[in-house]
A = this chain, B = another copy of it.
């Protein structure tokens, strides 16, 4: 069992009647706010007007950055940082899902850094240790970025999706109102739900490292929450219980608690980041296509016991006595969950993706060497897994 350090300072307001506190929390940091959001769904739902009224009535000055992409671009980050510098912005308010929040974190860091290009920070050419404070209003249960200290940014000129992070990137305050996710369409609900599942299993659960028993059991409960409530939220978009459970699961799947003592590279995330970087596909969908194939590819005597345990404890499968058989059935259950229960596409080829970039993508995914984790993957392994997804 590895030693670890745990700290998560984010203050979370959770529930139906919390947004009125947004101006107070922003006002603790200053008067000038940059509000960051995506494609405008917050205008259709009325959230934009609600927040604007609250902030203006509180005497805050609000600047705006809209149009943040689903895989946020470094150029968008740079635009946001410029607005912050020119207007002496005191605090960044992210209103949206993981992409908007990640973009806001990167803006908050870049504003105070010695460069006007966030990519210098991603490539570690310029050091950074400070950020503007970040407040989030979450509209999608998925990445958990709202309690997490990392951000993922895409550079489409270079086909690279990469990250930055540190304690300064962790949101100071987060508002989670499950009702704000009632309007999330079935496809996005499915992708977000698999993202939650993936954080638990890719970052911690499937590992050769000895874990604390209690944390493994809690990881299973968070994954069971996804298995139970994602199909409910897809069928009944305004089911508060389902949306609330998914929302709180998403925050806890990535706020470091689940991972205490586990330190490994995340194979599915590394492989998926290449898919998003080259084809701009939704992160959760990429993960749902890759994860079952990854498990089938790495299935052997060393991995079968944990995969079989996953089947028993997350999908409620019986133990047959044959561990290899049970592991295969666990992967079947995961496929059934992804492609039937969540209704996600199962093949890259059906998304119009060809094999032409697999070698470059695999090279980049293994960072020129290998992905260490539940099972070490080299370039040819990653290519084979991409191939299994066609």
Q: Taking the complex as formed, is A241 at the interface, i.e. its CB lies under 8 A from any CB of chain B?
A: yes
Which of B9, B248, B249 lies in contact with A9, CB distance below 8 A? B9
CB-based nearest B residue for A217: B221
CB-based nearest B residue for A224: B217
Which of B10, B13, B15, B248 lies in contact with A214, CB distance below 8 A? B248
Q: Taking the complex as formed, is A320 at the interface, i.e. its CB lies under 8 A from any CB of chain B?
A: no
Expressed in whole angstroms, the minimum distance between the Cβ of A123 and any Cβ of chain B is 29
Which of B3, B9, B222, B224 lies in contact with A17, CB distance below 8 A? B3
Contact A13 B8 (CB under 8 A): no
Q: Taking the complex as formed, is A218 at the interface, i.e. its CB lies under 8 A from any CB of chain B?
A: yes
Q: Determine how many copies of this chain the complex contains.
A: 2
- In the docked arrangement, what's the CA distance between A260 and B247, Å? 13
For chain A, the bracket of interface size reads 35 or more
- In the docked arrangement, what's the CA distance between A213 and B213, Å? 21
Contact A214 B4 (CB under 8 A): no
CB-based nearest B residue for A240: B1
- In the docked arrangement, what's the CA distance between A228 and B295, Å? 30
Q: Taking the complex as formed, is A11 at the interface, i.e. its CB lies under 8 A from any CB of chain B?
A: yes
Q: Which residues of B contact A2 (CB under 8 A)?
A: 15
Q: Which residues of B contact A228 (CB under 8 A)?
A: 213
Q: Which residues of B contact A8 (CB under 8 A)?
A: 8
Q: Which of A165-188 contact B (CB under 8 A)?
A: none
Q: Taking the complex as formed, is A351 at the interface, i.e. its CB lies under 8 A from any CB of chain B?
A: no
Contact B213 A241 (CB under 8 A): yes
Contact B7 A11 (CB under 8 A): yes
Contact B213 A245 (CB under 8 A): yes
Question: In the complex where A7-B9, A218-B218, A224-B217 touch, is A212 in contact with B245 (Cβ < 8 A)?
Answer: yes
Expressed in whole angstroms, the minimum distance between the Cβ of A212 and any Cβ of chain B is 6
Q: Which of A252-299 contact B (CB under 8 A)?
A: 252, 257, 260-261
Q: Which of A234-256 contact B (CB under 8 A)?
A: 240-241, 244-245, 248-249, 252
Contact A6 B14 (CB under 8 A): yes
- In the docked arrangement, what's the CA distance between A343 and B11, Å? 41
Q: Which residues of B contact A6 (CB under 8 A)?
A: 11-12, 14
Q: Taking the complex as formed, is A18 at the interface, i.e. its CB lies under 8 A from any CB of chain B?
A: yes
Contact B244 A212 (CB under 8 A): yes
Contact B12 A5 (CB under 8 A): yes
- In the docked arrangement, what's the CA distance between A224 and B224, Å? 17
CB-based nearest B residue for A173: B7
Q: Taking the complex as formed, is A16 at the interface, i.e. its CB lies under 8 A from any CB of chain B?
A: yes
Contact B225 A213 (CB under 8 A): yes
Which of B5, B10, B11, B212 lies in contact with A11, CB distance below 8 A? B5
- In the docked arrangement, what's the CA distance between A254 and B245, Å? 21
Contact A14 B9 (CB under 8 A): no
Which of B3, B10, B260 lies in contact with A16, CB distance below 8 A? B3
The 8 A CB mask of A1-43 against B (1 = contact, 0 = none) is 1111111111111111110000000000000000000000000
Contact A5 B14 (CB under 8 A): yes
Q: Which residues of B contact A14 (CB under 8 A)?
A: 3-6, 260-261
Contact B249 A214 (CB under 8 A): yes
Q: A8-B8, A212-B245 are in contact. List 12 more A-B contacts (CB 8 A).
A: A1-B241, A1-B244, A5-B13, A7-B10, A7-B11, A15-B261, A212-B248, A213-B241, A214-B225, A214-B245, A214-B249, A218-B218
Residues of A within 8 A of B (CB): 1-18, 212-215, 217-218, 221-222, 224-225, 228-229, 240-241, 244-245, 248-249, 252, 257, 260-261
8 CB-based A-B contacts, threshold 8 Å: A1-B240, A1-B241, A7-B9, A7-B11, A214-B225, A214-B245, A214-B252, A218-B222
